[in-house]
Structure 1
C-alpha cells in the first residue's frame, strides 16, 4: 500500500499534537502514559516528535484519556487557522 504524502498542514497539525501531548505529560514518564493508553512507548515517542503526525482517532482518544485531556481541547489546540 502506497501512502499519500502528507501536506504541510498535516505535518504542522501533527507537530502541534505532539507538543500538546508532551506538555500534558509533564513530569510523568512516557512509559507510564503509553501503558495507560494501551500503546507502546515507541508509538507515543513517534507521535510526540511528529514522526507519526496522523495517529488513528482511537489512539488519540486513548492518549487524551490517559492524560486527562478532552478531545475538544485537542481539536482546539491542533486545528489550523487560515492566515
Structure 2
C-alpha cells in the first residue's frame, strides 16, 4: 500500500498541533509528559516540532490525557484559518484549570 503525500494543509495542521501541545505542556519537561502519556520522549519531540504531522489518534489522546486537555480543544487549536482572536481563545482553553 502506497501512502499518499501529505498536503500543505496536513503539514500546517501538524505544526499547529505541535504548538498547541508545547503550549499546554507549559513548564513540564518533555520527558515528564512523555512518561505520563506512555510515549517516548523522541515521539513527543517529533510531534511538537511537526516532524510527525499526523500522529495516530491514540497517541494524541494519550498526550491530551497527560496534559489534562480535551481532544475538542486540541482539534480547535489545530483547525486551519484561525484568527488571532481564536488563537487567544485557544490559549485560554489550553490553560484552563491549571
Contiguous gaps of at least 5 residues in structure 1 = none
Alignment of 1:1-83 (within 5 A): 1-81=1-81
Task: Give the alignment's TM-score, normalised by structure 2.
Answer: 0.79
User: Structure 1 segments of 4 or more deviating over 4 A?
Assistant: none
CA RMSD of aligned residues (A): 1.3
Contiguous gaps of at least 5 residues in structure 2 = 83-98
Aligned to 1:23, the other structure's residue is in SS state helix
Aligned to 1:10, the other structure's residue is in SS state helix
Task: Give the alignment's TM-score, normalised by structure 1.
Answer: 0.93
Bigger Rg, structure 1 or 2: 2
* Structure 1 residue 81: Cα displacement: 3.4
CA distance in structure 2 between the aligned counterparts of 1:5 and 1:36, rounded to whole angstroms: 32
Aligned residues between the structures: 82
CA distance in structure 1 between the aligned counterparts of 2:37 and 2:65, rounded to whole angstroms: 7
